[in-house]
Structure 1
Amino acid sequence: MTSGGSTLTRRWPNDAEHRNLILVARDDLVAESGPSTSDDGAAVYAQQHGPFSSYLRTVDTTDTEIVETTTYRLQIPWFGWLFKRPARGVLARRLSSTGWWLPPDRLDATQLLVLGLLAAASMSAAFVNTLFTQTAEFAADDFGVGNTGVGVAGAVVRAGIVVALPAAVLADRIGRRRVVVVVAWLGPLLCLLSAIAPSFEILVITQAFGRPMGIALAFLVGVIASEEMPKNSRAYAVSVLAMASGFGAGIAVMSLRLADTGESGWRLVYVVSAIWCIVALDLVRRLPETRRFTAEAARVDRPSRAPRLDRKRFALLAAVAFMGNIFISPASFFQNSYLEDVRNFSAGDIGLFSILVGTPAGIGLIVGGRIADQRGRRRLISIALPASVIAIVAAFSVGGLGLWAFSLVGGILGSSVFPAMAVYRTELFPTGNRTRAAGFITAFALVGGIGGLLATGQLLDRDWSYGSVMALMAVGQLVVTVLVVAAYPETAHTELEDLNPEDGRLDIGGDRAVPLD
């Protein structure tokens, strides 16, 4: 899961150009201190700030050459294999330290460890959240349930958000880590129970409890990322977590091929949930409490009660979440029904479509996260959001190549907006009620989704076309665009404590945060 220690040795000509490059402390992927001199006369540079759990660079010089030896350990849980080669390329001075894969800020070892663990947790949360959406149509066919029943079931499962809200309140009181560990276990375990559901009603009940655990895990992960990341990299972190979520959802989609094994093949998809117990165990072992929560708990002037939610901010974000999901939920939930009923896709075809169309959306996530951090959130949302909605509505209206093209464009544009939209839910509230706000805003989003699902199911049963229904639901996204442009503040390049004066000033530069006043 974690890349081991590595050694990199490079030899350079001993000329003025290379001496000016090699004998100067690095300030790129890593900020070095030094040099000091070793017993054998070599220049030694240590990590002052950077992502490595251990790091040392020594430089030996002779009359003809410079020998640079770097020993380091990069600790990235679960995804170390993905970043090991680019990091080595930067250390070897072959790659730029401003590559697309790097955050705008330099992360420290703790932040990198947390981000890797959160990415794994995001995969688990996405898998749990995706299961019912992907399997509902097949389970309904097995149990003889129609479109209206499927729509009602989707609404009931989403209404289970009330089960997740206590987790949001508890995380503000007892800490993020404890609650994350609990829901990370409960999500996959409850989904395993869904595999043996004797009826569609029991399946819905188990998912009404299981899926909210995935939802709780998702918004808690977002809060932890916001509290741990530097001010210029919060949207970047959201984009990384969203990509990981895409992998988790992709595993659910790929598992959908199991539904083709027979009428009850959908049950096997739920059995795959067992793999996420490994992630839950790793969170128990290595996830630390956030530095901001630890520092807030240590404040001598900490209020005895959590600060009240800023009603104006909460109402604004809740309205955006509600209106946006009137379109997002049915567009996601009924996609498989559309592909199966209108375009005659098999379960395998649907899985292949979701992978081929959904995977490139990762481009939008990374690009969108960097734009949101470097150039601001609001401008990106105002352009990309309406364009993505138009493309998605078009995808529900045409077949053939147009279906694939519009789905691809809509996915990329929609993904580019996601980091900017999602990061607001944690940026605009203080540490004392950050998870509570995120949880309740998520609840409003799901209520909007319930309305969209119920309306979509009924309109489809009245012989409305998918394209017409989605165009009607898309009005909600038009409202979202107007609200963001008119009322959202710009939060890029701003510390959370500046956005939320209720919090004390914190120094979060070390391994743990401490109050400054």
Structure 2
Amino acid sequence: MTTSSSTVAPITDTSLTGFYKDMTVTEKRTFWACATGWALDGMDFMIYPLVIGTIIALWKVDAGSAGLAGTVTLLASAVGGWAAGYLADRIGRVRTLQLTIIWFSLFSLLCAFAQNFEQLLILRALLGFGFGGEWAAGAVLIGETIRPQYRGRAVGSVQSGWAVGWGMAVLAQAALFSLLPPEEAWRWMFAIGALPALLVLYLRAYVKEPQVAVEARAKVSAAGGSRSILAIFQGRILKTTILASLVATGCQGGYYAITFWVPRFLTTERKLSIVGSTGYLATLIVGSFVGYLVGAWFADRFGRRSLFLTFSLGAMVVVLAYTQLPLSNELLWVLGFPLGFFASGYFSGMGAFLTELFPTSLRGSGQGFCYNFGRGVGALFPFLVGYLSQVTTLANAICLFAVFAYVLFFAAAYALPETRGRVLSADE
């Protein structure tokens, strides 16, 4: 155990929605702020994979370079997440969240005005810095605000906002590419990515800093200063940092290998039009949304670790079937649901798990580093899949990197302790 508090809160109502009716006003406001932020975050990120085919065609970009833009976004988000996590420990979770939302909203808007691929690459990298920071600050904020007996379901339900954001991006794609020529539609896709900036108004008015974080910062200040950004690599915390980083690498590497390239897979190897692929992506997204909710319930009912082990195995099996079996388009459409279900559902336990692994004074730094280290390494997967697809099929490339990631995910999760119900303390 890596925290000084070993108290376990009792879990009485284990139903999926039972947590919400018992939440306080403060908990509900934080819940909806973080859920909305994560949905808009997901929308911003998924816009690029949806327009990647248009970018390739308009600017004559090869698949490897196109994938590199996704990789650069994620690599920058890794740095941004660690920095934002450390900043959240210094100036507060809510203030850091506001800054990161404004940052990635601004650069999403600027992407709409890019005149060539090089400019877009730079702007996506700068967007990624804020994108990674938003998750780091938001995950710690809700993890500390929600009581331990509800933390898994509440944080997991917030993760389902990603599927909502993904769905919003797909709907925007279907509408804009139906109404406008491709050379204009992709720019409007990026322009709507500025919408998250409006969320800052709600955060400023209604969301409060968690009391446990306020008390922890006061104790650190009274002791003579702040903790070093390298403190998560010292003493007993080091092992936790390494294993949690590998868990985050496996879960995100698998996810990005699949979701970044599936739209392209459907339009090239399955010969579907952009609009025609919308139904297939919708099935994937519905499965993803249900997976988040079931994963949230699973995390509180059976534990975070059990969720990771079960869903990583399920994801491996479905990825192999989706990419390697000679399925008809009709069967592929049906299989999109379990693919989205298993490839997304395990994220529901990730925020609560990382919150519970680290002491309060280091929680932002630890959670921000581990999750975003995984995002940074996982960021290589879109590039590597695109590169490998030049010498084999895109389906084979997706399968190879996704299965490797899920094996790593399973092994690292198996080596870490269960944290379900752990009570957080400012004295940690």
What is the TM-score when the length of structure 2 is the normalising length?
0.87
- 1:413-436 residue CA offsets vs partner (Å, 9 max, x unmatched): 333322123422222112222111
Query: Could you tell me how far 1:339 is from its partner in structure 2?
Result: 0.6
Looking at secondary structure, tell me which structure has more strand per residue: 1
Looking at secondary structure, tell me which structure has more helix per residue: 2
Amino acid paired to 1:327? G
Amino acid paired to 1:352? G
- 1:212-248 residue CA offsets vs partner (Å, 9 max, x unmatched): 3122112211111110111111111122211222212
**Separation of aligned partners in 2, 1:298 and 1:376:** 32
- C-alpha change, 1:201 and 1:399, in structure 2 (3 Å) is farther
Pairs within 5 Å for 1:285-304: 285-299=205-219, 302=223, 304=225
Alignment-derived partner of residue 32 in structure 2: 116
Amino acid paired to 1:259? F
For the 8 Å contact 2:163–2:286, the answer to whether it is kept is yes
**Separation of aligned partners in 2, 1:105 and 1:125:** 26
Alignment-derived partner of residue 405 in structure 1: 334
1:339 aligns with 2:266: yes
For the 8 Å contact 2:148–2:421, the answer to whether it is kept is yes
Query: Could you tell me how far 1:369 is from its partner in structure 2?
Result: 1.2
For the 8 Å contact 1:111–1:228, the answer to whether it is kept is yes
Amino acid paired to 1:409? P
**Separation of aligned partners in 2, 1:105 and 1:286:** 19
**Separation of aligned partners in 1, 2:285 and 2:348:** 16
1:172 aligns with 2:92: no
**Separation of aligned partners in 1, 2:80 and 2:160:** 26
**Separation of aligned partners in 2, 1:338 and 1:290:** 43
Amino acid paired to 1:147? A
1:368 aligns with 2:295: yes
Amino acid paired to 1:305? S
Aligned match for 2:307, one of 357, 375, 380: 380
Alignment-derived partner of residue 263 in structure 1: 182
Query: Could you tell me how far 1:453 is from its partner in structure 2?
Result: 2.3
Q: Secondary structure at the match of 2:160?
A: helix
1:311 aligns with 2:311: no
For the 8 Å contact 1:124–1:214, the answer to whether it is kept is no
Alignment-derived partner of residue 10 in structure 2: none
- C-alpha change, 1:98 and 1:441, in structure 2 (3 Å) is closer
Query: Could you tell me how far 1:206 is from its partner in structure 2?
Result: 0.9
The range that moved more, 442-451 or 248-257, is 442-451
- 1:102-141 residue CA offsets vs partner (Å, 9 max, x unmatched): 2189322211121111112112222222222222232222
For the 8 Å contact 2:111–2:124, the answer to whether it is kept is yes
Aligned match for 2:369, one of 440, 454, 477: 440
Amino acid paired to 2:165? G
For the 8 Å contact 1:124–1:184, the answer to whether it is kept is no
Query: Could you tell me how far 1:301 is from its partner in structure 2?
Result: 5.7
Q: Percent identity?
A: 22
**Separation of aligned partners in 1, 2:161 and 2:271:** 30
1:236 aligns with 2:163: no
**Separation of aligned partners in 1, 2:312 and 2:223:** 39
1:423 aligns with 2:352: yes
**Separation of aligned partners in 1, 2:411 and 2:260:** 25
Alignment-derived partner of residue 56 in structure 1: none
**C-alpha RMSD over aligned residues:** 2.2
**Structure 2, unaligned stretches of length 5 or more?**
1-12
For the 8 Å contact 1:321–1:448, the answer to whether it is kept is no
For the 8 Å contact 2:156–2:351, the answer to whether it is kept is no
1:450 aligns with 2:379: yes
Aligned match for 1:391, one of 309, 312, 318: 318
Count of equivalent residues: 403
Query: Could you tell me how far 1:194 is from its partner in structure 2?
Result: 0.6
Query: Could you tell me how far 1:167 is from its partner in structure 2?
Result: 2.0
Runs of 4+ in 1 over 6 A off after TM superposition: none
Alignment-derived partner of residue 136 in structure 1: 52
Query: Could you tell me how far 1:360 is from its partner in structure 2?
Result: 3.7
The range that moved more, 112-121 or 258-267, is 258-267
1:213 aligns with 2:130: yes
Alignment-derived partner of residue 4 in structure 2: none
Alignment-derived partner of residue 120 in structure 2: 203
For the 8 Å contact 1:390–1:410, the answer to whether it is kept is no
Aligned match for 1:357, one of 271, 278, 284: 284
For the 8 Å contact 1:325–1:446, the answer to whether it is kept is yes
For the 8 Å contact 2:89–2:217, the answer to whether it is kept is no
1:107 aligns with 2:28: no
Amino acid paired to 1:115? F
**Separation of aligned partners in 1, 2:423 and 2:382:** 38
